[in-house]
A and B are shown apart, each in its own frame.
Chain A
Amino acid sequence: MLTFTIRRLLSIPPLILVVSLLTFLLLKTAPGDFYSQQEADPARSLTEVLRQKESAGLLHRLNPSQLEALGEFTDEGATWSFRDVGDKIPTILQDGIIVEHRLASRSLLNFQVGSTRYQCDDEGVVYRKVGPIEGFFSWFFNALSGDFGRSYKFNRPVFGIIAERLWNTLTLSIAALVIAYGLGVPLGVFAAVKPNSPIDHTAGIFAFIGLSVPTVFSALLAVLFATYSGLFPIGDMRSLDYHQLSFWGKIGDRIHHLVLPAIVLGTSAMAGYMRQARGNMIEALGQDYVRTARAKGVPHTGVLFKHAFRNAVNPLITMFGYSLASLLSGSLLVEIVMNWPGLGRLVFEAISAKDEPLVLASVLISTLLLVFGNLVADLLLALVDPRVRLS
């Protein structure tokens, strides 16, 4: 079992390298970047937007001597070159004649020498576009030394931002998981013991409702219920006067806020576990060893839990491993609709705004969770089922 664990752990670094490279390339392939929004803002000049991009590491500023080294190139039908005159900004020559920076910059907004792309701002400062592979490896080597970059949006190290919200999401997902397993598995077992009974059918109907109603919809219903009944708070994780409450008051307040979102998330997941538990149980109950146990006079509960349930539980444990991986991302829609200050919302916005360092960091965390979730599930399986051997 130890060698199995070590082997699994050793597979993590290459996995992370591949996952982060793919994420990075996918982010780069889609058009636009984090600063597209700013470029569409009439109040901002190109000069400032390019400067922002430079400080984010998307562009690399060239000094006059590097520019002179570019030599002559053609763009929009003219031949251009730069001459280092010892100033901060070099002189720009169009067809051998000196042109004003402002005029030149309009033709040279985007130009290409060889396969490298360059951009020139209103003041004649030239930047080289950092390509995806180069960008990835500079991020990667920084990450090896523990620097995962700063979020473009918040201008802060990414893990600080994620840590702020990690706990909130975990609270919600774990509460939902407890509801899902705590209700789903017993209900499934119950339904399996008396298949095709009214209880089984009722549970089946609820399971299908749970499976088919999207979480967004039930979250909206929950918000409406909170508004019109006044029994529960409308969204949020804690009330405005939270800091004035006593210790128990704080816990009560948190639970009060947690009930609705956890039920919404939990019930939709519950249905799946319930169907799974029911199916496995029915199958196990039909096996020969169950009949043998019954025949030799083992009491009913003993047959159910010692013989049938232990055999039926394996797929549920595997599912548990996967649910660990979705702890962070599974609650996205509920977080948005019910204003839960969690990670899902943050990451979703980071992806749509293309805040690359933040996306990469969260992808790393999710990958790690997936790997560990699977590992935990495998170990648990070996623990529960002596037939499973890890080697």
Chain B
Amino acid sequence: MSPISCHTSRMLQWNLQATSRWRRRTRFSGLLGFGWLLGLCGWVCLCATGELNAQPGDSLQSAQTNASLDSPSDDDPPVRRIRIRRNTKLPEPTPDPSIPIGTPSPAFLGEAPDDAIIENRTGTYGGRFVYAILGEVETFNPVEPKGATDQEIRALVFSSLVQYNNGDWHTSPDLAKSWQVSDDHLTWTFFLREGILWSDGTPLTVDDVEFSFHAVFHDQIATSIRDGFKHPQTGDLPQVSVDHDQNAVIFTLSRIDSQFLTHLGAVSIIPKHLWKDHLQEQDPTILQQMTSNSPPELLVGSGPFVLKEYIPAEKIVYQRNPRYWKKDSRGQRLPYIDEVVILLVKDLNLQWQKFEAGELDIFMDLPADHFREATAMEKAGTADLVRLGVSLNTNWVCFNMHPGKNPETGEPFVDEEKSYWFHQLDFRKAVNHAIDRDGIKRTAFQGRATAIWSSVTPGNRSWFHRGVSTYPYSVETAQRYLDELGWKDTDGDGVREDDQGRPIRFTLNTNVENNLRQQIGNMISQDLKKVGIDVNFKPQIFNDLVTSLRDSHKWDMILLGWGSGVPPDPANGKNITLSSGRLHAWNPQQAKPATKWEARIDQLMAMMDEELDDSVRKGYFDEVQELMGQNIPILYLIAANSYCTIKKGRLGNLWPSLLRPQLTWNLETLWIRQ
């Protein structure tokens, strides 16, 4: 066993057993017959109800069936055991000089520049890497990022000045070899690497960099990349200039911006010589370029791969960029992999079948209902299961505390009595105590999740804060809070009445597309019934939900989730935390902060923006989390554990990360073991 695989074994906890696919096949043919078919039908029914159910009642049932079928895994027994996986850092791969070098095909062209980044890795050239994504390519154009998949796909072809390293959670140099910041933190000078070529052989210069930023800053181009660069009050954008003598690009900011490097990393550098005709002063046509039907050879970039072929709804094929500029520790040029194939598979079940049959090399974001099969594969020695820890994505519930009135009808958005209940801190505390997070974990997540109390889950090792108030499950505490409010069940129907005799009855919404959320919603409404709160659970279509959040404000309690961006910095969530934010769910887009603590949060977020020292920023955000925990406008519930699977021993130099794309973010240094 080579040192690398030793290291992998530690990381992936592999487990060898002598069961293999052929044995399962013989079992299959032996049992072939009607009885087998019936059994299979039953099993498929289970899968189908788990996947396609439309009725809330069904979903709960199927979850319980699954839970009873699922023997407690060695990984997460469904017992109370506090296991906070903070700081689970997956180790960086180490070089091994004994690995053969191999021959790249297609071969490299020219020489790597002297300035090239040297990655501390070793690997063998060759091979084809296959994985699947759920999404569809919307466009190859890097100026406007569409969905997350588009952004991940784009990173294979384009480079930026700086790059975020998902492995050690730090921004590292990319096309820029170094940078200087002036004493007032307003002028940033980035020195470009010399001798880098575009994939068509033209030199990459500071003019290309300037051109790319002009495109993103162009006033008539609709792109959300620009947002981050804007001054929060005036909307001013940084000035970009170039210094040809020093081969540098200079940015002049109008304010101190702690997130400037992150924003820079989002801007892909595009070749000016090919795109310049499309950046007109009036009505620029740049966004109509490089859509999904453009010839692949026109997509010239400076990333590790170039597009070879794209067949809509079937696959995207990339091959090595023969002029890529990074090298490994033996001076060999990167990338190691000859060809990357991304299959476009719309159905998660089918994706899993393909992985099980060995057609895919990796499977990222393993859904809960395939976990059992994945552990079986791990035991059979056909796949490695990577336990990434607690995901950064949250599930939460929130009460509508909008004070406004509908301008057309003059009616308040939230009924008067509901508004009265929701504004009571003790009521929200009671609800928080009444929700059985452990039950949700056991039933909906089959034990593979962690209760959370803040927008930052324990998986986020940079920003997690232990000092946030928690509200552990206790029906007694919840009942005590409600009793103290004077809200008692006076007429004996099992539903409490408030101090003015109005029964506490409201609706909980979530989006119908998300099966897991439907299960959680059902459990919450049952939990709340136990303390005498009558919740009518009503899943809705996502678009309806967004409309009521944004325009009609006609909702009582809502169950939704936030995903996390990369990097997982809370500054990315300003739209949620700031009182003026569009997604400040409980009371959005306030003209002035409605409460003192919201005003304080606004102030802290502004201070965070202008502070460059991350430990100080952490202090500010800890206070934000504490304030949110004390006032619980949003009740954070639970975060799933995150898993990936990899075909056994298939890939070298893997450095899995919690951040998307978990396994492929460092594709240029991965190599295929034949």
Question: Which residues of the partner chain A approach B48 to less than 8 Å between Cβ atoms?
Answer: 216-217, 220
Complex CA gap A123/B287 in Å reads 22
Assess whether B357 is interfacial by the CB under 8 Å rule: yes
Assess whether B256 is interfacial by the CB under 8 Å rule: no
Assess whether B589 is in contact with A106, with CB atoms less than 8 Å apart. yes
Known: A32-B543, A48-B224, A230-B357. 15 other contacts (CB 8 A): A32-B547, A33-B543, A153-B138, A154-B139, A155-B287, A161-B293, A216-B52, A224-B44, A227-B356, A228-B28, A234-B353, A235-B354, A240-B130, A337-B350, A345-B346
CB of A127 to closest CB in B, whole Å = 12
CB of B314 to closest CB in A, whole Å = 5
Assess whether B407 is in contact with A48, with CB atoms less than 8 Å apart. no
Assess whether A107 is interfacial by the CB under 8 Å rule: yes
Assess whether A68 is interfacial by the CB under 8 Å rule: no
Assess whether B154 is interfacial by the CB under 8 Å rule: no
Q: Which residue of A lies closest to B221 (CB)?
A: A51
CB of B288 to closest CB in A, whole Å = 6
CB of A332 to closest CB in B, whole Å = 11
Q: Which residue of A lies closest to B43 (CB)?
A: A224
CB of B520 to closest CB in A, whole Å = 19
Q: Which residue of B lies closest to A236 (CB)?
A: B314
Assess whether B350 is in contact with A240, with CB atoms less than 8 Å apart. no
Complex CA gap A234/B349 in Å reads 11
Assess whether A155 is in contact with B25, with CB atoms less than 8 Å apart. no
CB of B229 to closest CB in A, whole Å = 11
Q: Which residue of B lies closest to A152 (CB)?
A: B138
Question: Which residues of the partner chain A approach B130 to less than 8 Å between Cβ atoms?
Answer: 240
Per-residue B-contact encoding for A27-55, CB less than 8 Å = 1, 0 else: 00011110011111011111111011011
Assess whether B227 is interfacial by the CB under 8 Å rule: yes
A interface, CB within 8 angstroms of B: 30-33, 36-40, 42-49, 51-52, 54-55, 75-76, 102-103, 106-107, 109-110, 112, 122-123, 153-156, 160-161, 164-165, 168, 216-217, 220-221, 223-224, 226-230, 234-238, 240, 243, 336-339, 341-342, 345-346, 349, 354
- Segment among B166-174, B576-584, B620-628 that sits at the interface with chain A: B576-584
Assess whether B345 is in contact with A235, with CB atoms less than 8 Å apart. yes
With A155-B139, A156-B292 known as contacts, the answer to whether A345 contacts B222 (CB < 8 A) is no
CB of B144 to closest CB in A, whole Å = 8
Assess whether B227 is in contact with A40, with CB atoms less than 8 Å apart. no
Assess whether B222 is in contact with A32, with CB atoms less than 8 Å apart. no
B interface, CB within 8 angstroms of A: 24-25, 28, 40-41, 44, 47-48, 52, 130, 136, 138-139, 141, 146, 222-224, 226-227, 230, 233, 235, 287-288, 291-293, 309, 311-315, 341, 343-347, 349-350, 353-354, 356-357, 359, 404, 407-408, 542-544, 546-551, 562, 565, 572-576, 580-583, 589-591
Listed residue (B226, B341, B354) with the most chain A CB atoms within 10 angstroms of its CB: B354
Assess whether A223 is in contact with B589, with CB atoms less than 8 Å apart. no
Complex CA gap A388/B48 in Å reads 48
How many residue pairs link A and B with beta carbons under 8 A? The number is: 166
Question: Which residues of the partner chain A approach B223 to less than 8 Å between Cβ atoms?
Answer: 48
With A31-B544, A40-B546 known as contacts, the answer to whether A55 contacts B222 (CB < 8 A) is yes
CB of B107 to closest CB in A, whole Å = 20
Assess whether A221 is in contact with B583, with CB atoms less than 8 Å apart. no
Q: Which residue of A lies closest to B233 (CB)?
A: A102
Assess whether B313 is in contact with A154, with CB atoms less than 8 Å apart. no
Q: Which residue of A lies closest to B575 (CB)?
A: A42
CB of B370 to closest CB in A, whole Å = 13
Assess whether B139 is in contact with A228, with CB atoms less than 8 Å apart. no
Assess whether A44 is in contact with B543, with CB atoms less than 8 Å apart. no
Question: Which residues of the partner chain B approach A31 to less than 8 Å between Cβ atoms?
Answer: 543-544, 547-548
Offer 25 A-B interface pairs, CB within 8 angstroms, sorted by A: A32-B544, A42-B574, A44-B227, A45-B582, A48-B222, A48-B223, A103-B591, A112-B408, A154-B138, A155-B288, A161-B293, A165-B312, A217-B48, A223-B350, A224-B353, A226-B353, A228-B24, A228-B25, A229-B28, A234-B350, A234-B359, A236-B314, A336-B346, A339-B345, A345-B346
Question: Which residues of the partner chain B approach A235 to less than 8 Å between Cβ atoms?
Answer: 345, 347, 350, 353-354
Complex CA gap A155/B40 in Å reads 43
Question: Which residues of the partner chain A approach B562 to less than 8 Å between Cβ atoms?
Answer: 42
Assess whether A345 is in contact with B590, with CB atoms less than 8 Å apart. no
Cβ-defined partner of A240 (8 Å) among B52, B224, B315, B407:
B315
Question: Which residues of the partner chain B approach A224 to less than 8 Å between Cβ atoms?
Answer: 40, 44, 353
Complex CA gap A360/B233 in Å reads 41
Assess whether B227 is in contact with A223, with CB atoms less than 8 Å apart. no
Question: Which residues of the partner chain B approach A112 to less than 8 Å between Cβ atoms?
Answer: 407-408
Complex CA gap A240/B128 in Å reads 11
CB of B252 to closest CB in A, whole Å = 21
